[in-house]
Amino acid sequence: MEPGEHREPGPGAETAAPRWEEDKTFYDNLAPKKKPKSPKPQNAVTIAVSSRALFRMDEEQRIYTEQGVEEYVRYQLEHENEPFSPGPAFPFVKALEAVNRRLRELYPDSEDLFDIVLMTNNHAQVGVRLINSINHYDLFIERFCMTGGNSPICYLKAYHTNLYLSADAEKVREAIDEGIAAATIFSPSRDMAVSQNQLRVAFDGDAVLFSDESERIVKAHGLDRFFEHEKTHENKPLAQGPLKGFLEALGRLQKKFYSKGLRLECPIRTYLVTARSAASSGARALKTLRSWGLETDEALFLAGAPKGPLLEKIRPHIFFDDQMFHVAGAQKMGTVAAHVPYGVAQTPRRTATPKQSPSTQ
């Protein structure tokens, strides 16, 4: 284990059910602690996260699917004093809060912070258990959106959302269609220690930070034509992809640390992890970022090699990719990976609308 790192309980790990005691100490532990004031949404970098991304709700989902909504709500009410176990987005959210603490130390009056919104189509009756869980883990999440079975997507713009993370792929597609950066988050296959003190975010390039222009060339004409196309257009920036704005927001916060002489101690670190080859197609990717006034701390060109082993060394809190093949490879090596359903690599969308679930968010 590296210095400054800890092991969070893995989303897939089995743990014994706690024996909760109905006494004053227990309820005191659930009571909200004094927390700083939330920033105004228009000033913050807003991360909307679904309840099933933040917490493990596998048993609750099973009850809803097999027994229906009334039994689901009854179960939640009966267990509302039992905190949920951490889900795949939990370490990411904890890292966001660690960055906020540093920013508040350096800029006490600034609202240029991360603001986390719990966005779920759960019923309001489930809200008490969610609140208890948030207080149990001492998370700073003040904004909730519980839509009682309706899709929460229409509220994302009202909350000035910079990134939406959900376990529901259909809701993520809806958000992408609305022009909102979004990804479906997946639990890793095994536990991996992540940094407590530095937020690490890894991005694929094409169809994530950049448009899918180059992927379309590969799909239509093959790799040789792709290399020729990239060389010819090396000095023409790629169009932006769905997560360009989120990288931009991270860069803005990084500069607040740089201006204090803390570049080497910055608690945010970003990575470009791409299947592109550096020699044949890497220059255009780097020049595109430069043209946007952006950079990543590290740029890793793999020339088609698997990404999972490299991500295991980086240990990011989250990795974004548009291809499920790379998402699955990252999961296998213990990385929390998020699928961005954008671009030519995506499978055709189902025409039937799936049944909405209060816990699929």
Residues identified as active-site = 204
Residue recorded with tokens 């990411």: 92
Q: How many CB atoms lie within 10 A of CB 174?
A: 19
**Beta strand pairing call for 45-49 and 55-56:** unpaired
User: Would you state the structure tokens that stand for residue 350, as one six-digit string?
Assistant: 């189902």
The CA distance from 118 to 133, in Å, is 12
User: Would you state the structure tokens that stand for residue 256, as one six-digit string?
Assistant: 């607040």
The CA distance from 130 to 118, in Å, is 9
The CA distance from 233 to 291, in Å, is 14
The CA distance from 294 to 21, in Å, is 52
The CA distance from 101 to 343, in Å, is 36
Residues 6+ apart with CB under 8 A from 348: none
3-state secondary structure at position 84: coil
Single-letter code of the amino acid located at 153: I
Query: What DSSP designation does 162 have?
Result: E
- Name the nearest CA neighbour of 218 among 203, 208, 228: 228
C-alpha Rg value of the chain to the nearest Å: 21
Measured distance between the N- and C-terminal CA atoms of the chain, rounded to whole angstroms: 33
| Number of alpha carbons in the 13 Å side-chain half-sphere of residue 111 | 9
Q: 3-state DSSP: the chain helix, strand, coil percent, rounded to 5? A: 40, 15, 45
